[in-house]
Amino acid sequence: MRLKISLTLLTILFSLNSYALIELGMDFSYDKDVFGTNRQSKNTSRTWAGSIATYLWEYTALEVNYMENSDNTVINEVVTYSDLDISVLGQQTEIETKSYGVGFRQSFSSRKSFIQPSISLGYARTFKRTKTNYTVRSDISGTSFTSVQPLIKTRQDSMFGTFSLKFRLSQRLSLRGSIQTYIRAFEWNSAKDDLRYTAGFTWLL
């Protein structure tokens, strides 16, 4: 609730500051990984991200961002438990992640430059939902059924960091590639555990 109030206040601040330059950004990534002895399993990940940045000075902006990720892993591999007279035929795990962030963006070149690198740092709150189910076969009767595990919900406060490269296409439109990570509190080594690579566009208002 406090985060939503903060984001609302920031949005009002953006609208009141009529002299500030506002930049909208939208990014997307898609990744598919096929694995297994016979390439029978796969992992599919989709990420949508959006940002609003108000430049308080020429190179420094206040940024509000949002990220939504869907990660689906399907494992088609038979594991037999002879003591239980069952075989697990497969497993499917769906992880939905939503993150809301607020922080500062620092650019390192003029907005008139063709290549514009920048770094963003700030606070993020992440909500995650994990759903797992197994396809199980009875080795006695030969019938199969689905075992659905309890839904797991987590919430986490962290710090986000983003490195971006923009390529200026016109006075207002730019192509952007980004690397983003989320760092859990005081766990600096976790930065390399949650890297996301995205591409998209930005538009100056």
- Give the total number of structural domains in the chain: 1
CA separation for the pair 39, 74 (Å, rounded): 11
The pLDDT of residue 165 is above 60 = yes
Which residue range forms the structural domain that includes residue 42?
2-204
Three-state secondary structure call for residue 193 = helix
Query: pTM higher than 0.75, yes or no?
Result: yes
pLDDT 10s digits, 69-117 = 999 999 998 889 988 889 999 999 999 999 999 999 999 999 889 999 9
Q: Alpha helices, DSSP H only, in the chain?
A: 2-16
Residues linked to residue 103 through DSSP beta bridges, in sequence order: 63, 122
Q: Which position has the token pair 């990744």?
A: 31
The answer to whether 107 and 120 have CB atoms below 8 angstroms apart is no
CATH label of the domain that carries residue 75: 2.40.160.20
